[in-house]
Amino acid sequence: MKKIFRAFVPFIAEVTHDFMLTACMLGPILTGMAFRFMVPFAEAFLCEYFDAVQILAPYYIIFDLLLAIMTPILFCFAGVLVILEELDCDVAKYYAVTPIGRSGYLLSRIGMPTVASLLYNIVLLCIFSISGIDFFMLILLSISGGLIAVITSLLVVSFAKNKMEGMALVKLCGILMIGVPAACFVSGPMRYLFGILPSFWMAELCLTKNYWYFLLSVITSCLMLGGLYGKFKKKLL
Amino acid sequence: MRLKHLICEEFRLLFKYGIIFLYVMITAIYLGLLAAIPDTARELTTVILVFTDPAAMGLFFMGAVVLFEKSQRIDSSLAVAPIKISEYMIAKVLPIMVIGMAVSVVLYLFAGSGNVFLVLLGVALASMLLSLCGLLIGSRIQTLNSFMIATIPFEIVICVPPLLYLAGILQSSIWILHPGVAAIRLIRADASQWYLSALSIVLWMIPIYYVCKKSVIKSFHKMGGAKI
């Protein structure tokens, strides 16, 4: 653990130096504030304009889910960009042959930010949640969100050969969040096609309050992570 | 001839590193999304999607393109090659603009209405402006993290007012002087004073072009590449 912390220090120095850490901390707060204050305002405006009782209110959970996924993704994003730099400069390979190894390297760049984001996410969801989900559910959502962030990060660093491909993959990883709107808007058996995405089970968990869906979210995440970690290991050495 | 080679090479690079494939995928996803949303919101969503993605892709990808060149020492070769800085800049901006226009036209034909010429003009001008901003930032920074941070003020200044304009919060016609608002007016095929909208973006582009050119010259003179 001490070794991993030692590898984590240069990472923190780098993200602090170029204000990425500040952006990671501030980004979710700004998003949370926008959701907390602007969405109910938009709802009131739309209801008055269209003379309806509720328009956005049944979908408030989508905003909470997006915040739960976005916060760890932003934290891990800083790690992903640093890994892409280190892969381009071949520094990553040197880290991998030091005592921290490949898994230690990944833990220092992606694992630690994810753990930090878990606590941060719970606090943010407590403050900015608009759908009124309970505290236990917030914890489950933060864990699922953290796992999705790790999948996104591993997907980018495992498949991208350089920064350009990395940026393209970062953009494409938005697909992983499609499970959230799919669970809310797609009906019939077709919706279970999205079941390969952890975000789908995360949304199902919130919509049905059936805690078994959390397990499905974790299982799908672990399956993806297993495959991606194998790919990353091969890539690093 | 040099310019043609540079542009072809840039296209090859974008194809090789999956940017073109990415935009084929993104177009398919956007088409699915547009098909799923109600008719009443489809046109507005198309305008927002076109403005924030294909038109703004230069701001997102230019940093990666420039930093990749720095880390591969391609800019060192380009600096000693008999090319003009203006040619280098045009070759960087043009392919991204063409991809953006292609994506926009597909989305617009699927879900938009009005004059496609205006939409393409808006996308082309917005893309050039934002790509120049991306190139300006990219030529000055050394890491992807710094690039992402440095683009935030540009994104806020250029992209927020047009969205407020679309929402009806900003209504004064003076806002046509803002490049983002001018671009969104063209992208939503607003034919009233379209020439003023286009002129507004071009007028903004001229100083940005010169500042960007100065910055690229400085970065070429500095050399040494990215952080190793």
pLDDT recorded at residue B145: 77
pLDDT of residue B183: 92
| DSSP code of residue A53 | S
Chain B residues whose beta carbon lies within 8 Å of the beta carbon of residue A88: 68, 71, 226
- Asked if residue A231 is part of any domain, the answer here is no
Report ipTM (2 d.p.). Answer: 0.70
Average pLDDT over residues B204-216: 93
Q: 3-class DSSP state for residue A226? A: helix
Residue B18 and residue A165: Cβ atoms within 8 Å? yes
> How far apart are the CA of A217 and the nearest CA of chain B, in angstroms?
23
The answer as to whether A48 is a domain residue is yes
Residue B227 lies in a domain: no
> Domain containing A162: what range?
2-172
Give me the pLDDT at residue B228, please: 41
Residue B20 touches chain A, beta carbons under 8 Å: no
Give the pLDDT mean for B87-107.
92
pLDDT at B223: 66
The mean pLDDT value for B100-112 works out to: 88
Q: Is residue B200 part of a domain?
A: yes
Whether A84 is covered by a domain: the verdict is: yes
Q: Which residues of B touch A81 (CB under 8 A)?
A: 143-145, 148
Structure-model confidence comparison of residues A234 and B107, the more confident one: B107
Inside any domain, residue A143: yes
- Establish if B64 touches chain A: CB-CB under 8 angstroms: yes
Any idea what DSSP says for residue B224? S
Q: Would you say residue A49 lies in a domain?
A: yes
Residue B202 has pLDDT above 90, yes or no: yes
Separation between Cα atoms, residue A227 and residue A222, nearest integer Å: 9
Q: Indicate whether A179 belongs to any domain.
A: no
Q: Name the pTM for this structure.
A: 0.79
Q: How far is A82 from chain B (nearest CA, A)?
A: 7
Range of the domain at B109: 2-222
Q: What is the band of B181 on the pLDDT scale with cuts at 50, 70, 90?
A: very high
C-alpha B196/C-alpha B127 separation (Å) is 18
> Does B56 lie at the interface with A, CB-CB under 8 angstroms?
no
B228 occurs within a structural domain = no
Residue A118 within any structural domain of the chain? yes
Q: Where does the pLDDT of residue B180 fall: very low under 50, low under 70, confident under 90, or very high at 90 and above?
A: very high
Residue A51 phi, psi dihedral angles, 5° rounding: 55, 50
Model pLDDT, residue A148: 93
Q: How far apart are CA A203 and CA A198, in angstroms?
A: 9
Between CA B90 and CA B77 the distance in angstroms is: 18
Parts of chain A with a pLDDT under 70: 18, 237
Q: Which residues of A17-42 are buried (b: 16+ CB within 10 A; e: fewer)?
A: ebbbbebbeebbeebbeebbeebeee
Structural domains in chain B (count): 1
Q: Is residue A232 part of a domain?
A: no
Confidence of residue B225 (pLDDT cuts 50, 70, 90): very low
Q: At B102, is the pLDDT very low, low, confident or very high (cuts 50, 70, 90)?
A: very high
What mean pLDDT is predicted for residues B83-107? Answer: 92
In which residue are the tokens 């089970």 written? A201
Domain count, chain A: 1
The pLDDT tens digits for B11-63 are: 998 888 888 888 898 888 888 888 877 777 788 888 888 888 888 888 888 88
Q: Given CA atoms B217, B218, B222, B226 in this order, what sign does their dihedral have?
A: negative
CA dist., res. A196 & res. A181, Å (int) = 14
Q: Which of A202, A198, A181, A182 is nearest to A190 (CA)?
A: A182
Q: What is the pLDDT of residue B224?
A: 52
Q: How confident is the model at residue B130 (pLDDT cuts 50, 70, 90)?
A: very high
If you average pLDDT over every residue of chain B, what do you get? Answer: 86
